[in-house]
């Protein structure tokens, strides 16, 4: 019980400290999702705490992902008029972004001569884990690889997405939310919500739309390349 409480405390502390660091020193490396992960892993390694002991505390916090995800409906409802007014270009953007990320992942994997199992697992890297897990069963992908690729993609998107858009001078809140939600699912949406309510709402909508498009597109795209 004590180790579970300790696990929760170090996770929350790491996240709070990473938020402070991100506020003072904005950088992809101080992104809370990345920095807090590094901090927790470092503490566990230093104290020689195995993951199986940390897992119960992690599972308790993961339980709240459900209510947190449902809570995304609140900003989505508040911004419904803006989203509705831009639905057609937004849908086109998510469609192109989703299909292109699937095709580019397959092409790069083929160039690197990766196995079909890895290729199939890579195709669902940009959608949220619950949906990716179900799609992976349909296409015969490795569920462990799928989980790893989804987490890595989300983390990279949350870290590098806002930074890259700043470099490219993409300042429009709607466009920023749409891009992050399309490529970086829930982890990216959490980062988008930090920027503003509109970014978070649009990112949440894009995340859901991208999951639907991916579920339909993958069975049609994979046979062309495999």
Tell me the per-residue pLDDT of 68-81, one tens digit each, with 9 for 90 and over. Answer: 777 777 888 888 89
What does the pLDDT average to over 116-138? 86
- For position 202, what pLDDT does the model report? 93
Highest averaged pLDDT of the listed ranges 86-90, 123-127, 151-155, 221-225: 86-90
What does the pLDDT average to over 24-31? 82
What does the pLDDT average to over 104-126? 89
- For position 96, what pLDDT does the model report? 94
What does the pLDDT average to over 31-51? 87
Helix (H) or strand (E) holding 75: helix 73-78
Q: What is the domain partition of the chain in residue ranges?
A: 2-63, 72-225
- For position 98, what pLDDT does the model report? 92
- For position 190, what pLDDT does the model report? 82
pLDDT of 165 over the 90 cut: yes
- For position 90, what pLDDT does the model report? 93
Cα–Cα distance between 43 and 8 in angstroms, integer?
13
Q: Please state the pTM of the whole predicted model.
A: 0.81
Tell me the per-residue pLDDT of 83-113, one tens digit each, with 9 for 90 and over. Answer: 999 999 999 999 999 999 999 988 999 999 9
pLDDT of 180 over the 90 cut: yes
pLDDT of 224 over the 80 cut: no
pLDDT of 64 over the 80 cut: no
- For position 140, what pLDDT does the model report? 83
- For position 13, what pLDDT does the model report? 92
Cα–Cα distance between 119 and 109 in angstroms, integer?
6
Q: What's the mean pLDDT when you consider all of the chain? A: 86
Residues 6+ apart with CB under 8 A from 18: 30, 31, 32, 34, 35, 36, 39
User: At CB < 8 A and 24+ separation, what contacts does 110-118 make?
Assistant: 110/225, 116/226, 117/141, 117/142, 117/145, 118/142, 118/145
Tell me the per-residue pLDDT of 182-221, one tens digit each, with 9 for 90 and over. Answer: 998 888 888 888 888 899 999 989 998 999 999 888 888 8
């Amino acid at each position: 019980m004590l180790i579970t409480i300790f696990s929760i405390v170090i996770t929350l502390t790491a996240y709070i400290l990473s938020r402070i660091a991100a506020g003072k020193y904005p950088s992809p490396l101080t992104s809370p999702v990345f920095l807090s992960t590094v901090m927790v892993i470092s503490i566990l390694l230093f104290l020689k705490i195995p993951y199986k002991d940390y897992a119960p505390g992690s599972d308790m916090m993961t339980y709240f992902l459900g209510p947190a995800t449902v809570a995304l409906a609140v900003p989505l409802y508040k911004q419904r008029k803006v989203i509705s007014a831009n639905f057609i270009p937004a849908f086109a953007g998510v469609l192109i972004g989703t299909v292109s990320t699937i095709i580019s992942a397959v092409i790069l994997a083929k160039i690197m001569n990766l196995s079909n199992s890895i290729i199939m697992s890579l195709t669902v890297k940009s959608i949220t884990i619950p949906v990716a897990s179900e799609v992976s069963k349909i296409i015969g992908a490795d569920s462990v690889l799928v989980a790893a690729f989804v987490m890595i993609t989300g983390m990279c998107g949350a870290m590098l997405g806002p930074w890259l858009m700043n470099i490219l001078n993409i300042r429009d809140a709607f466009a920023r939310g749409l891009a992050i939600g399309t490529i970086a699912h829930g982890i990216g949406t959490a980062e988008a919500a930090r920027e503003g309510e509109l970014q978070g709402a649009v990112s949440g909508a894009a995340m859901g739309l991208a999951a639907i498009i991916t579920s339909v597109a993958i069975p049609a795209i994979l046979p062309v390349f495999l």
